[in-house]
Structure 1
Amino acid sequence: MTAMTGRQRAQVDVHLILRRDTSIVLGQRINTGWGDGCWHLPSGHGEDHEPALTTLAREASEELGITIEPGNARLVHVLHHYSESSRIALFFEVTAWTGEPANTEPHKCAGWQWFDLDALPTPMIGYARQALTDYRAGRLYGELGWPK
């Protein structure tokens, strides 16, 4: 038995809430094998030795073709959720960027659209909807999907 037995190990993801007034950008997932057909925020996992804000800027460039400065990102929600494993999702709001969002990964995304925060589309990835609900309510932290 190792010292790590029984300790939780969580995957950390970053999610971009690209905000223009009361609207945010969402993409419809395709050909990924997970959540296909559902709307979701631009997001991704960190690479080895990559801090969260670097991941956020890289994913914004890769998925949307825009440039964001890490200093313009504001942490607005943390969601500790369980879906097959423990995950910690960090949600960052960005209101200033360079470029116009474009679909730079058409093999994974059917397209990006702007939606009002009060009129989110369906179907949508469940934990992202929960996080956006918490974000609108001003809650910094939430939990979802943990076995009882």
Structure 2
Amino acid sequence: MEKGMAALVPRVSVVVFVLKEKTVLLGRRRSPGVGYSEFALPGGHLEFGESFEECATREVKEETGLEIDKTEFVKVTNNLFLDEPKPCHIVAILMRAWLRNPHQLPQNLEPTKCDGWDWYEWDNLPEPLFGPLKKMMEQGFNPFPIA
């Protein structure tokens, strides 16, 4: 480990595949730093004492105004961003959820962090994708449950 990196500690994020029919919700990141201008899922940092489901529900509501339902655990990824100006290590808890009401429309409630939200078909995602999401897709991951 490089000198000066010993004080860094991993952070835990909860990221949500909000599914609607055969589409997934993505937004283009505006926050400077990791993933700037890349398309990513809604999500954020896990707060002390919060369950993964509670964090997923809170983050989706804060960022998009959407109310989700049937939230379930999908997978965990270990993400190192060592080439960033501020290196970081993020453990991402990936969740899957559906809209409580399928007629809800996403709102951009954090315009300084995101350019806006839209629905994309899994086999036709926009570019550039956020690195960890792109890697999962290239490895054949699919967020939709097998029927």
**Alignment TM-score, normalising by the size of structure 2:** 0.76
Give me the whole-angstrom Cα distance separating, in 1, the residues matched to 2:65 and 2:28: 16
Look up the equivalent residue of 2:141 and give its one-letter code: Y
Q: Comparing 83-92 with 34-43, which one deviates more in the overlay? A: 83-92
| Residue 130 of structure 2 corresponds to residue 122 of structure 1 | no
| Residue 104 of structure 2 corresponds to residue 106 of structure 1 | no
Cα 1:58–1:40 shift into 2, 3 Å: same
Name the counterpart of 2:96. Answer: 93
Give me the whole-angstrom Cα distance separating, in 2, the residues matched to 1:78 and 1:14: 9
SS of 1:59's equivalent in the other structure is helix
1:30-45 matches, cutoff 5 A:
30-45=30-45
Q: Comparing 126-135 with 46-55, which one deviates more in the overlay? A: 126-135
Give me the whole-angstrom Cα distance separating, in 1, the residues matched to 2:99 and 2:92: 22
| Residue 82 of structure 2 corresponds to residue 76 of structure 1 | no
Report percent identity of matched pairs.
28
Name the counterpart of 1:131. Answer: 136
Look up the equivalent residue of 1:97 and give its one-letter code: R
Name the counterpart of 2:3. Answer: none
Name the counterpart of 2:55. Answer: 55
Superposed displacement of residue 52, structure 1: 1.6
Pairs aligned (count): 130
Give me the whole-angstrom Cα distance separating, in 1, the residues matched to 2:52 and 2:137: 19
Give me the whole-angstrom Cα distance separating, in 2, the residues matched to 1:137 and 1:18: 9
Give unmatched runs, 5+ long, in structure 1.
Answer: 1-5, 139-148
User: Do the aligned residues in 2 keep the contact of 1:77 with 1:135 (CA within 8 Å)?
Assistant: no
Cα 1:116–1:54 shift into 2, 3 Å: same
Q: Comparing 126-135 with 33-42, which one deviates more in the overlay? A: 126-135
Superposed displacement of residue 22, structure 1: 1.8
Q: Comparing 24-33 with 54-63, which one deviates more in the overlay? A: 24-33
Superposed displacement of residue 95, structure 1: 2.1
Give me the whole-angstrom Cα distance separating, in 1, the residues matched to 2:44 and 2:143: 24
Cα 1:132–1:55 shift into 2, 3 Å: farther
Give unmatched runs, 5+ long, in structure 2.
Answer: 1-5, 82-86
Superposed displacement of residue 132, structure 1: 4.1
